[in-house]
Structure 1
Amino acid sequence: MKEKIILKSSDMFLNLGFKSVTMDDIANEMGISKKTIYQHFQNKTKLVEATATQVFENIACGIDDICALNKNPIEEVYEIKRFVMHHLKDEKSSPQYQLQKYYPKIYATLKRKQFDKMLSCVTQNLKRGIAQNLYRDSIAVDFVARLYFNNMVCLKDQSIFPPQKFSMLMLMNNYLEYHLRGICSNKGLETLNQYNTNQI
């Protein structure tokens, strides 16, 4: 039952937002009593923590699976973006922004895990891109990897990018284009242009 509660809660939180979904909403949606939820989770904060952790772990595993395919590094960047956006329901409820605002301690813990995961993933992507002559060999890998993470976090700041003006999909696509054009070699730019042409 605990896993079912986490699964349903994560779906509702990602679609409707961590703030707006109540324990009553979850109980009603599942056709169970609120008491049943409280048997597994002391309060809503504990449930939010469990669901946020579960979503992160699912995404981390999916990213590992994509990286294990050893795709062209440029294609890999877009594949990971597609996977993450799908699992975060295109971020229509701005889950990370809501976590930061209403559950700052959970957000801080999650951000550290995300940083460690993304730093490792992006570093490997950059090194492979350099080895395949798709990225310039002069780029500072550790600097670019950290900048990439920081910019991804910044995209989710609604005070900078209000959602009524910038959709998350548009932000992600524009940022990836910006990121890749900044690090690609001439060969990489050809590959990127070909990839973009194929997506149209």
Structure 2
Amino acid sequence: MDKEFVQVIEKVRTFLLKNGLKDFSFEKIKDFGVTQEDISKFVNSKEELVEKILEFERKSFEAIFLEYNFEGQNAIDILFIVSQEINDKFEHVTPSITMELEQYFPEIYAKHMEDRMEFIFDKIQINIQKGIAQGMYRSDLSGEMVGRMYLSRLEDMHNPELYPPERFKFGTIYDTMIDEFVKSIATDEGLSYYRQRKQLLGVLSFGR
């Protein structure tokens, strides 16, 4: 993605996180250092801009797995690293933004979620198989079933009825979700390792 366009996307994203989609217009984002001319260089409509913003979100997430070489690493350590990176990149994402995207751009949002969940599903299944082989996760687990369980919990995180945005930070929700997830699949050895690493690194306390 063009570097100049990435800068535009980041500024528009900042506007959306602060003001939401209801008042979103090319005119109003001028206060955030972006003009309609800047945007028109790359997209022709508000819908196309939202589509590109969501694509940027997906690519930012996928970049975590390109940035780190997870070959040979402990499966639980991988969860720690990915969790920290997700918080750093998406700490300002709230359920209210998700709800507005689904409301105002349903088709674009649905396609975004389909692509995002497919990528996550593949990665979590790889992590499960790695963890089983390392003795960190229980051997009786189904990678597909656990993957679907993980996706279900991710979807719940963005439900504003479950987690009102004025009461819960993204990091706090994700922290708790990962904590419960690991405890539900880990062996005694894996759980002991998880607790030691959590205490040592403090990685999963980023939302508090």
Q: TM-score, normalised by structure 2?
A: 0.84
> Which runs of 5 or more structure 2 residues have no equivalent in the other structure?
203-208
1:108-136 alpha-carbon deviations (Å, 9 max, x no partner) = 01111111110111011100000000001
Would the alpha carbon gap of residues 37 and 126 (structure 1) be closer, same or farther in structure 2, given more than 3 Å must change? same
Would the alpha carbon gap of residues 3 and 139 (structure 1) be closer, same or farther in structure 2, given more than 3 Å must change? closer
Would the alpha carbon gap of residues 70 and 103 (structure 1) be closer, same or farther in structure 2, given more than 3 Å must change? farther
Match of 1:145 in 2: 147
Matched pairs, number: 199
Would the alpha carbon gap of residues 168 and 199 (structure 1) be closer, same or farther in structure 2, given more than 3 Å must change? same
Match of 2:13 among 10, 13, 38: 10
Between the aligned residues of both structures, percent identity stands at 19
Q: CA deviation at 1:70?
A: 4.2
Equivalences for residues 20-39 of structure 1 within 5 A: 20-30=23-33, 32=35, 34-39=36-41
Q: CA deviation at 1:181?
A: 0.5
Q: Distance in 1 between matches of 2:97 and 2:71?
A: 28
Q: CA deviation at 1:152?
A: 0.6
Task: Check conservation: 1:17, 1:98, Cα contact below 8 A.
Answer: yes
Q: CA deviation at 1:141?
A: 1.1
Equivalences for residues 58-137 of structure 1 within 5 A: 58-66=60-68, 68=70, 70-92=72-94, 94-137=96-139
Q: TM-score, normalised by structure 1?
A: 0.87
Q: Distance in 2 between matches of 1:166 and 1:28?
A: 28
Q: Distance in 2 between matches of 1:20 and 1:66?
A: 38
**Structure 2 counterpart of 1:128, one-letter code:** K
Report SS of the residue matched to 2:27: helix
Q: Distance in 2 between matches of 1:75 and 1:85?
A: 15
Match of 2:163 in 1: 161
**Structure 1 counterpart of 2:51, one-letter code:** E
Report SS of the residue matched to 1:40: coil
Report SS of the residue matched to 1:68: coil
Moved more, 67-76 or 162-171: 67-76
Task: Check conservation: 1:10, 1:52, Cα contact below 8 A.
Answer: no
Q: CA deviation at 1:67?
A: 5.5
**Structure 2 counterpart of 1:125, one-letter code:** N
Q: CA deviation at 1:182?
A: 0.6
Report SS of the residue matched to 1:23: coil
**Structure 1 counterpart of 2:184, one-letter code:** G
Task: Check conservation: 2:95, 2:165, Cα contact below 8 A.
Answer: no
Task: Check conservation: 1:123, 1:142, Cα contact below 8 A.
Answer: yes
